[in-house]
């Protein structure tokens, strides 16, 4: 495939540059940035970056258009709440799809082994590849959702633009979380089909099954006081929902309404989201060292 040829050519260029620079280890930050830049360029040349931009633009403009026509031009809160409730399905799916072949796909193409010939650590390779893809994913989401923000401003003015900006920011961070999860799955998978299957299972669990199990436990058993907090913090999709909805002057239904009873503060939710972003990536950098060839 052209994608793999492009990837291998990029690796050869990086190897050549490294050989010219020094035979010893490349300084950590520079090595990560070099690999991230290469990953970014490959992703930008592919069509999925443009596709994601269009997807999020259509999604946001449609919700903004329908929402403001129903609730009035100045009622941003209800529109953002609708974006959150639908975005909790779309954002994880997009991120998991982008990241599932990050490591295993490069391994199958032969480009990962070429990267490992560089004087860099395997952990630097994983982090660099993650940062490159996250930059493209975050940029596509920012542009696509930003178009929705422009539409919201044209229809309803700038009164609630801060709420919309919060939604965009938290959505991008949440996408980074699920991209981190997908990179972990890609690291431990032996082939791309396994990684893709793992990504789909992760999406089903975090987006659908986790909340169904939690609702069943709440309805059928007597839970200890901190159970609701644990349920919320063990699912990054719920943390995303709570973090945005906690800043809106509106109500919502479903499991999100139940989770609001946990009364989690914004700092706690922010820390939880950041932990979810970093932890899978750390596990992936450790796992790659012990993964059999």
Q: What is the C-alpha separation between 223 and 66, in angstroms, rounded?
A: 39
Phi, psi angles (nearest 5°) of residue 102:
-55, -50
Q: What is the C-alpha separation between 146 and 293, in angstroms, rounded?
A: 43
User: What does the pLDDT read at residue 134?
Assistant: 97
- Alpha carbon distances (Å) from 241 to 63, 95, 187, 190: 17, 16, 28, 33
Structure tokens at 45: 């040349």
Give the domain extent around 212.
Answer: 2-290
State the total domains in the chain.
Answer: 1
pLDDT digits (tens, 9 = 90+) for 160-170: 788 899 999 99
Task: Name the most confidently modeled range: 99-108, 201-210, 238-247.
Answer: 201-210
Listed in sequence order, the DSSP H helices in 223-265 are 227-233, 236-245, 254-259
- Interacting residues of 269 by C-beta distance below 8 A, sequence separation 6+: 239, 242, 243, 246
Q: What is the pTM of this model?
A: 0.87
pLDDT digits (tens, 9 = 90+) for 218-271: 887 877 777 888 888 999 999 999 999 888 866 665 666 666 666 788 999 999
């Amino acid at each position: 495939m052209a994608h793999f040829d492009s990837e291998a050519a990029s690796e050869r260029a990086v190897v050549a540059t490294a050989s010219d620079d020094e035979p010893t280890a490349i300084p950590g930050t520079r090595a990560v940035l070099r690999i991230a830049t290469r990953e970014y360029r490959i992703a930008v040349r592919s069509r999925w970056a443009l596709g994601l931009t269009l997807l999020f633009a259509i999604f946001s403009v449609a919700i903004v258009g329908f929402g403001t026509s129903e609730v009035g031009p100045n009622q941003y809160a209800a529109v953002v709440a609708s974006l959150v409730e639908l975005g909790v399905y779309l954002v994880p799916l997009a991120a998991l799809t982008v990241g599932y072949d990050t490591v295993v796909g490069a391994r199958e193409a032969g480009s990962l082994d070429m990267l490992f010939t560089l004087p860099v650590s395997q952990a630097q390779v994983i982090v660099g590849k993650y940062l490159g893809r996250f930059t493209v994913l975050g940029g596509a989401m920012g542009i696509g959702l930003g178009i929705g923000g422009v539409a919201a401003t044209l229809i309803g003015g700038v009164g609630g633009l801060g709420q919309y900006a919060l939604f965009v920011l938290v959505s991008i961070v949440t996408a980074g979380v699920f991209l981190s999860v997908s990179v972990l799955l890609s690291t431990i998978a032996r082939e791309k089909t396994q990684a893709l299957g793992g990504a789909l299972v992760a999406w089903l669990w975090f987006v659908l099954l986790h909340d169904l199990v939690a609702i069943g436990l709440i309805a059928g058993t007597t839970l200890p006081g901190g159970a609701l907090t644990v349920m919320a913090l063990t699912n990054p999709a719920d943390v995303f929902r709570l973090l945005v909805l906690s800043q809106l002057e509106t109500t919502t239904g479903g499991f999100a309404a139940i989770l609001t009873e946990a009364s989690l503060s914004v700092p706690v939710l922010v820390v939880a989201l950041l932990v979810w972003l970093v932890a899978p990536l750390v596990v992936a950098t450790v796992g790659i060292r012990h993964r059999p060839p």
